[in-house]
């Protein structure tokens, strides 16, 4: 945010000033404009704080990757409960930030984080699909006993080993 041009002063970042200096700049003559400016700055600071909250939430999270059963070439994600919760919260915060009219100064950073979160969410979904596709056939086809109901699947009955007793 830049200092308004309608004031008769220029300030450098870090340069100290006092109330007399502001009065000399004509601040009291522009009360309404400066109130709007202060409200905008407060809103932008709140949005940046929310973005920093999201960024900090991801700093200490660990993504655990484990080997799937006895397979040396199949890695899957470990327990994702905490990560899923942080991901959900992050999307809520990101959507709130992006829907604000005060997002301007941090919009590029927010969009980059939102894109990364979308990519990560799709990675988690792919992991769930992969694990599901590994486990379901294993449970079905590696079991010693597969029972097929003649009435529901008559065409597939002969495709499976049938164990009686």
**pLDDT tens for residues 142-160?**
454 555 555 555 565 555 5
pLDDT of residue 162: 46
Q: What is the 3-state secondary structure (H, E, C) of 122-159?
A: HHHHHHHHHHHHHHHHHHHHCCCCCCCCCCCCCCCHHH
Reading the block at residue 60, the tokens are 């200490």
Does residue 98 lie in a domain region?
Answer: yes
Please state the domain count of the chain.
Answer: 1
State the average pLDDT over residues 84-113: 95
- Mean pLDDT computed over every residue of the chain: 79
Residue 58 CA, chain-centre distance (Å), reads 9
pLDDT of residue 11: 73
User: For 3-7, 31-35, 80-84, which range has the lowest pLDDT when averaged over its residues?
Assistant: 3-7
Per the structure, the complete domain to which residue 95 belongs is given by: 47-159
Strands 65-67 and 75-77: antiparallel
Does residue 12 lie in a domain region?
Answer: no
Q: How open is the CA angle 115-76-88, to the nearest 5 degrees? A: 40
Does residue 149 lie in a domain region?
Answer: yes
């Amino acid at each position: 945010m830049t200092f308004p041009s309608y004031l008769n002063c220029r300030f450098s970042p870090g340069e100290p000033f006092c109330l007399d200096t502001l009065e000399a700049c004509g601040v009291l003559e522009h009360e309404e404009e400066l109130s709007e400016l202060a409200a905008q700055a407060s809103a932008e600071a709140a949005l940046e704080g929310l973005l920093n909250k999201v960024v900090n939430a991801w700093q200490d999270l660990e993504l655990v990757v484990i080997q799937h059963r006895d397979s040396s070439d199949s890695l899957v994600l470990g327990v994702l409960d905490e990560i899923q919760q942080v991901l959900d919260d992050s999307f809520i915060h990101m959507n709130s930030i992006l829907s604000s009219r005060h997002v301007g100064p941090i919009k590029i950073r927010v969009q980059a984080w939102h894109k990364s979160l979308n990519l990560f969410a799709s990675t988690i979904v792919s992991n769930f699909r992969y694990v599901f596709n590994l486990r379901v056939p294993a449970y079905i086809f590696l079991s010693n006993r597969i029972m097929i109901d003649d009435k529901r699947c008559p065409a597939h009955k002969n495709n499976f080993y049938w164990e009686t007793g």
